[in-house]
Amino acid sequence: MCGKAVGRLVDIEESRVSDGWISVPGYLQARAAGPFKSIADVSFGEYARSHRVTVAVLCVIIVLLSVSGLLAFYLNRRLRISRARLDLALSVGGIGVWELDLEKDRLIWDDRMYEIFGVARGDFGGTYSSSLNYIHPDDVEKTSGELIKRWNSSDPFKTSFRINRPDGQVRHIAVYGKVVQMAKGKPQRIIGCNQDVTDQVRNEQALNSFFEQSTNLHLIAGFDGIIQRINTGWEMVLGRTSEELEGSVFLDLVHPEDRDATLHEMERLAAGESVDHFENRYRHRNGEYRTIEWSSVATAEDGLVFAAAKDVTDRKRAEQLAQAALDALTANIAILDHEGRFLAVNRMWKDFAEKNGTPPESYAVGSSYFAFKERVGDEEAREVDHFVRGLRAVLSNSKTTFSMEYSCRLDGGERWFAVHVSAFPATDDSRIVVAHMDITEQHVALEALRRREKEFRLLADTLPLAIYLISGDERICEYLNPAFTGITGYTMEDVPCADEVYRRLFPNEDYRSRQVAEWQRRIEAAKETDRPVEPLETEIVCKDGGRRIVEWGYVLIGPKTYAYARDLTEQKKARSVLEDYTRSLERFNRASTGRELRMVELKKEINSLRKQLGQDELYTIYSGR
């Protein structure tokens, strides 16, 4: 029975050997199996008594064979698994394996090498020199030189080159190799692997192109603050080369006042947050500081910070200049965005808010301007609603400007303000300016002027002088008194502007032109000499067609012009009569010497006429007492 069992064991072992699972030397197989095949039918007891030593030896051999067979089976199984894993990894990674026999110039490729090079097995010469036919001409010398350089070293090496595939594609190949056998100090065999890294190289090239050609500043740094890579834009911004900056700690260049804030942002990045629009200052080689605006993200697993930045120094200086200009204005100025949120306010706005108890957060950047409605009383609600409608009209681009005046009660009493809203001209981002100006003094002065004007008109209505009030560049008539209508016959509807006055009073075009030119000459002369305008005497045509002699005067008060006229018609007639009497008297004196009675009567009549003209008496009449 034991013999049959051993026979079966031998059969099993033979089958395993024939299947290739293990490899056992033939002499051991014959030595172990031969005796049992010849005495298979002999009992184990009989054989054991006659061959005691042989059985013992055979048992030991059988045990050894069994152990070695099991061990070989286990090792082969592990080997097959390892090979399968390696094949899978090489396949996924697109890696081909090769072996170069330097003495025989024999180059062996695996299947993936043929796939990488796009070559059929029958087309490849199987030598190193034949492989050079596929390498890009510009890379052949470099690749051969790199390989020769590594022959005398047992250290692993790495290189890369481009290949020209038969299908016309140019691919980038990464090579990893090692000299694995040396004889008499000379290399005999090199093994290695190739990997197609075309996509990776192109991605890196695209990244490098973006990194270098972008108008932004790019930087990669570690969480330790050491700069690992920057683009060339930094050289112009900081006046330092890439070689100087890469490997340095960027915090060393940060303005001392900005370092705590910078460290805080680094902590946020390390915690997985992103940073947008952070600003700090960096020292230029010449000692000045440049303001940099950052947007950054970080990868915790790599411990790297990726940042895009802009040099906003000029913009900040312009903003500071603009803020200084705003602060120099006496109005309360606010800059709003297209949604009515505060972007900036000037010093006067802040001072006014502080003086009247308005909290700073109400006009902080980003807060809504419309929140002021909550602080308005019922008595001011109507004016506020009107203002809000106008403001929204400018925000929505339905209007370009809006203005209004309003009053409000403050601690110092009632104050008057004028607000003007206007949009920035032709800007990409809609912004508007809101300006509040305290016009209390002007308002009080204007009210006083209006009262005086009213009083003046009441007085002018009773004066015998004709008064015509003109205002504005278009010289529109604001007022004419009853005397003007009484003298000329024209009302305000007849002569709504100065040009119409000229046309109606001087219908003859030639005469009108001469009078207007003379009038302008006298006005200019008065301005140059700082004296009143010399009166101008003219003949006018009244509405009823009659003609009158009028003396014109001119007074300029601010934007308003007061033209006044005195009717000289009756005075001219009286003067003419007086002159006739005077001439008659002279003739009478010459012809009627001694006729004193008639002389006295004439003198009295002359004195009476002069009195009517507002002149002094010419003759002294004695009563005879």
**Tens-digit pLDDT profile for residues 471-499:** 877 788 888 989 999 999 999 899 999 88
Residue predicted with more confidence, 603 or 201: 201
Calculate what percentage of the chain has a pLDDT beyond 90: 24
Would strands 227-230 and 413-423 be described as parallel, antiparallel, or unpaired?
A: unpaired
Rounded CA gap, 44 and 47, in Å? 5
Q: Is the pLDDT of residue 588 over 70?
A: no
Q: What mean pLDDT comes out for the span 47-67? A: 59
- Extract the tokens encoding 561: 């012009």
The confidence score (pLDDT) of residue 539 equals 92
Q: How confident is the model at residue 321 (pLDDT cuts 50, 70, 90)?
A: confident
Residue predicted with more confidence, 457 or 312: 312
Residues 243-283 have pLDDT tens digits of 999 999 999 999 999 999 999 999 999 998 999 999 999 99
- Extract the tokens encoding 477: 């008539």
The confidence score (pLDDT) of residue 7 equals 39
Beta carbons of 65 and 28 less than 8 angstroms apart: yes
The confidence score (pLDDT) of residue 261 equals 94
Q: Residue 106's CB: how many other CB atoms inside 10 A?
A: 13
Q: How confident is the model at residue 212 (pLDDT cuts 50, 70, 90)?
A: low
Residues 332-378 have pLDDT tens digits of 999 998 888 998 899 999 998 888 888 888 888 889 988 876 666 66
Q: What mean pLDDT comes out for the span 35-52? A: 51
Calculate what percentage of the chain has a pLDDT beyond 70: 78
Alpha carbon distance, N-terminus to C-terminus of the chain? 202
Residue predicted with more confidence, 94 or 271: 271
Q: Is the pLDDT of residue 625 over 70?
A: no
- Can you tell me which residue has the tokens 């002065």? 445
Look over the chain and give the mean of its residue pLDDT values, rounded to a whole number: 79
Alpha-carbon distances, residue 453 vs 461, 480, 562 (angstroms)? 12, 13, 12
Beta carbons of 402 and 390 less than 8 angstroms apart: yes
Beta carbons of 387 and 406 less than 8 angstroms apart: yes
Q: Which of 87-101, 154-168, 399-413, 429-443 has the lowest mean pLDDT?
A: 87-101
Q: What mean pLDDT comes out for the span 43-61? A: 56
Q: Which of 1-15, 214-228, 529-543 has the lowest mean pLDDT?
A: 1-15
Among candidates 297, 182, 178, 282, which has minimal Cα distance to 240?
282
Amino acid at 455: E
| Bridge partners of residue 536, in order along the sequence | 552
Rounded CA gap, 520 and 515, in Å? 9
Rounded CA gap, 473 and 492, in Å? 18
DSSP 8-class letter at 176: E
Rounded CA gap, 533 and 575, in Å? 25
The confidence score (pLDDT) of residue 144 equals 82
Q: Residue 513's CB: how many other CB atoms inside 10 A?
A: 12
Rounded CA gap, 112 and 93, in Å? 10
Q: Residue 21's CB: how many other CB atoms inside 10 A?
A: 14
Alpha-carbon distances, residue 27 vs 23, 24, 56 (angstroms)? 12, 9, 18
The confidence score (pLDDT) of residue 31 equals 39
Rounded CA gap, 572 and 609, in Å? 12
Q: Is the pLDDT of residue 82 over 70?
A: no
Q: Which of 103-117, 217-231, 264-278, 419-433 has the lowest mean pLDDT?
A: 419-433
The confidence score (pLDDT) of residue 9 equals 33
Beta carbons of 498 and 516 less than 8 angstroms apart: no
Q: What mean pLDDT comes out for the span 438-458? A: 83
Rounded CA gap, 130 and 123, in Å? 10
Q: What mean pLDDT comes out for the span 376-401? A: 83
Rounded CA gap, 545 and 505, in Å? 10
Beta carbons of 484 and 468 less than 8 angstroms apart: yes
Q: What is the pTM of this model?
A: 0.45
Q: What mean pLDDT comes out for the span 418-440? A: 82
Beta carbons of 330 and 351 less than 8 angstroms apart: no
Measured in degrees and rounded to the nearest 5, phi and psi for residue 350 equal -65, -45
Beta carbons of 480 and 495 less than 8 angstroms apart: yes
Q: Is the pLDDT of residue 11 over 50?
A: no
Rounded CA gap, 335 and 322, in Å? 11
